[in-house]
A and B are shown apart, each in its own frame.
Chain A
Amino acid sequence: MDFDDTPDEAAWRAEVRSFLEKHHPSGERPRDDPDAARAWQATLYEAGFVGVAWPQQAGGRGGTPMQQAIVDQEMARLGLPALINLIGIGMCGPTVIMHGSDDQKQRYLTRLLRADDLWCQLFSEPEAGSDLAGLRTRAVRDADGGWRITGQKVWTTLAHLADFGILLTRTDPDVPKHRGLTMFVVDMKAPGVTVRPLRQMNGDAHFNEVFFDDVRIPDAERLGEPGEGWTVALTTLMSERLSLGGGGTAVGPKPEVVARHVAEHIGALTADRQVLARQQLGRGFVAALGARYTGYRQLSKLSRGEFPGPEASAGKLSGTQSARDLTDLAVRVLGDDAPIGGGPWQTAQAVMPGMAIAGGSDQVLRNIIGERVLGLPAEPRADKGVTFKETLA
């Protein structure tokens, strides 16, 4: 056991650090300007710092998860914003790598890493969120072997900017709901696709409603076999939870940044509030460290070629909770002025409720851990063994 970098890791870290310090964009946060964000990701890709652990045939560097984690750590150290194509890198790409044809890999993956194309994940629907397999968007074979898609998706992050998406559809309503699904890559600029931005509670409009009106998808854009869409989607969801919680990265502000902010403001609080603030910082900080080091343990597993299983969901669950507690503290230490002077901290706080829902709600993640890690019995299900059509009746 050793936390220190190996000589190889240290050399890699030095290379990453010197590149980032020289080239990182100053001034405006690039995430707020999509063109600048794409350009920055392209720069990073050309330098070899995006998709580090992806295979070379997939446009990656064929490096190790640890090398990727070192890039992420160094980006975080400099306070650089997350890459724009995170959903593409974290979820869509791994799904294409695992289930796509050689041709699809060729066409999509390098462009995705370089942010030539942005990607989105078209899973959730108005009637199917946690119960994702209950989705209704239909894909029907047409005469020349392609597919016709009709239906609606919702909460689709980045759909308004995306060039492609992975799309989960129902191809067979006459079997139980998990068995009649099929996954596709969809061209977001295809005729019949309409994207309508939704405003979020934090004021941003990063997610959308997406409507499919008889959209044609060639059969070559299928990911996996017809009817196997649930298995394909599980790859995506696993990758999602890993990228949100595991591997040493975390959602929300870094605990160290909150600690600095608290240190700057705590002096202005009354003595009793100071005690309270330190207790809250202590608790949030311990939880964040616990989540961070548990992520490192998963990273160590990954580095040995083991794939972390459902326990990766724990990192998302606890990371979200500690991020929520720490941003709340950051607002609190602003004192009575917080409600009108909360500024960026209040804005950061308004992201947190969404983090506890996106990528599996806290409750759904607890179910997954309870059943798949602890082996507790599953809940009885009203829809078991029933065809999808019958569940609608």
Chain B
Amino acid sequence: MNFDLDQEHLDLAAAAGEFLAGSASPAAARAALDDGAAARPGRAELVKSGYATITVPESAGGGGGSVLQLAVVAEQAGRVLTGPSLVSFARAAVLLDGDADRLAGLADGSLAVAVVDDSGPVLDAIGADTFLALRDGALVCGPGTVTAREPIDATRGLGDVELGQTVVLARDAGERWQRAERVGRTVLAAEGLGAAAYLLEMGVAYAKQRHAFGRAIGSYQAVKHLLVDVYVAVEQLRSLVWWAAWAADRAPGELPLAAAAAKAAAATTLEQAAETVIQVHGGIGFTWEHDAHLYWRRAKVDRFLLGDDVAAFDEVARLAMREATR
């Protein structure tokens, strides 16, 4: 057993981090909220970079890489609130498996895909032209009409989707759908990890620099212990994300539990990190200009994506009980 990233993963993280930080940022996320600007870096650039389609097979023009590689990139994407989400690409890559033409479209950017779940607004609906959904057990695909409402986080491209004329891509696609959802949960958790880890850095830096009553506020235990609890949660989330990504690539039997655990931990950890970091910043943390609320918005949206945290904890419990009584 060697539960750590290889040098190759670390290099990938560094390169992806550099690209993403150069094209997306909290400032861009704020602009999107302010004047409806599009999320950055946007589909075209994300596809062109190759990072979005790491898990699409090479034969279709993708990277032919692993879910773990995608997760490593997703962590970097989460740090700077990149949009659209790598989750949409990850799910599409699984759902379109075997469909060489559409996969090629995903990889060359000619298909802009979003995945429609049974309920709730659709992630990355804005800007998508092709929608995938599960209808009566069949995987269907087609255009749709998108209605935007009042997104609390403009980087998620959320909208209501009315499907148009669809074609059936696969019957009995329930299992494939579930796998796509679990891979999606894993990548979502990786984005959450990046956002939460960045928040922690932000909070720690401020706690060192801001003084009150003649001392740095980070020397007060009430502040210090809040940040430590975030640190512990972030490190545990990191472990769960790596485990889930590894399971997606190598141990499908462990994926259901691992993906649900990672999703649940990401939802609660990102929220805890965002609330904590705003608190640690005091009044500044509550201003529009400060970045904290942009991450807070992510947290408040992400906890509902791909089933909420309540559903994920419930799934963990059911799987754990089933496994324990086998």
Contact = CB atoms under 8 A, between A and B. Distances in A.
A377 B216 contact: yes
B232 A289 contact: no
Interface string B308-321: 00101111111011
B235 A278 contact: no
A316 B225 CA distance: 15
A376 B231 CA distance: 12
B1 A259 contact: no
A263 B325 contact: yes
Nearest to A6: B1
Contact of A1 (B5, B238, B315): B5
A290 B3 contact: no
Contacts of A275: 314
- The secondary-structure label for the interface of chain A is helix
A275 B318 CA distance: 11
B215 A5 contact: no
Given A1-B4, A1-B6, A282-B313, A296 B219 contact: no
A327 to B, nearest CB: 15
A377 B313 contact: no
B240 A301 contact: no
A376 B323 contact: no
A244 to B, nearest CB: 15
B265 interface: yes
B243 to A, nearest CB: 5
Contacts of B246: 1-3
A370 B225 contact: yes
A106 interface: no
Interface string A367-388: 1011101111111100000000
A84 to B, nearest CB: 28
A224 to B, nearest CB: 30
Contacts of A366: 221, 224-225, 228-229
Contact of A4 (B1, B237, B312): B1
A379 B1 contact: no
A184 B77 CA distance: 53
Interface in A230-258: 255-257
Contact of B204 (A6, A277, A374): A374
B317 A317 contact: no
Contacts of B314: 275, 278-279, 282
- The residue among B1, B220, B237 with the most chain A CB atoms within 10 A of its own CB is B1
A384 B239 CA distance: 38
A147 to B, nearest CB: 38
Contacts of B325: 260, 263-264
B317 A278 contact: yes
B68 interface: yes
Contact of B232 (A1, A299, A317, A377): A317
Nearest to A378: B219
A376 B9 contact: no
B294 interface: no
A301 B5 CA distance: 11
A363 interface: yes
Contact of A294 (B2, B9, B225, B235): B235
Contacts of A285: 261, 316-317, 320
Interface in A345-370: 363, 366-367, 369-370
B265 A377 contact: no
B130 to A, nearest CB: 33
A71 interface: no
A111 B235 CA distance: 38
Interface string B171-207: 0000000000000000000000000000000001001
A274 to B, nearest CB: 10
Contacts of B225: 363, 366, 370
A313 to B, nearest CB: 9
A323 to B, nearest CB: 14
B48 interface: no
Contacts of A283: 264, 313
Contacts of B250: 2-4
B154 interface: no
B227 interface: yes
Contacts of B232: 314, 317-318, 369
A150 interface: no
Contacts of B4: 1, 297, 300-301
A262 interface: yes
A303 B3 CA distance: 10
A262 B324 CA distance: 10
B279 interface: no
Interface in A151-179: none
- The residue among B4, B207, B215, B321 with the most chain A CB atoms within 10 A of its own CB is B321
19 contacts: A1-B6, A3-B251, A6-B1, A256-B324, A277-B317, A278-B313, A278-B317, A281-B320, A282-B315, A290-B240, A290-B261, A291-B236, A296-B3, A300-B3, A371-B224, A374-B231, A376-B204, A377-B208, A378-B219
Given A256-B323, A282-B316, 17 more contacts: A1-B4, A1-B5, A1-B242, A264-B325, A279-B310, A286-B240, A286-B264, A290-B261, A291-B236, A293-B3, A293-B236, A297-B239, A301-B4, A375-B208, A376-B207, A377-B219, A379-B220
The 10 A-B pairs of least Cβ separation, nearest first, read A282-B313, A290-B236, A293-B239, A376-B218, A263-B321, A260-B324, A278-B317, A370-B224, A259-B324, A259-B320
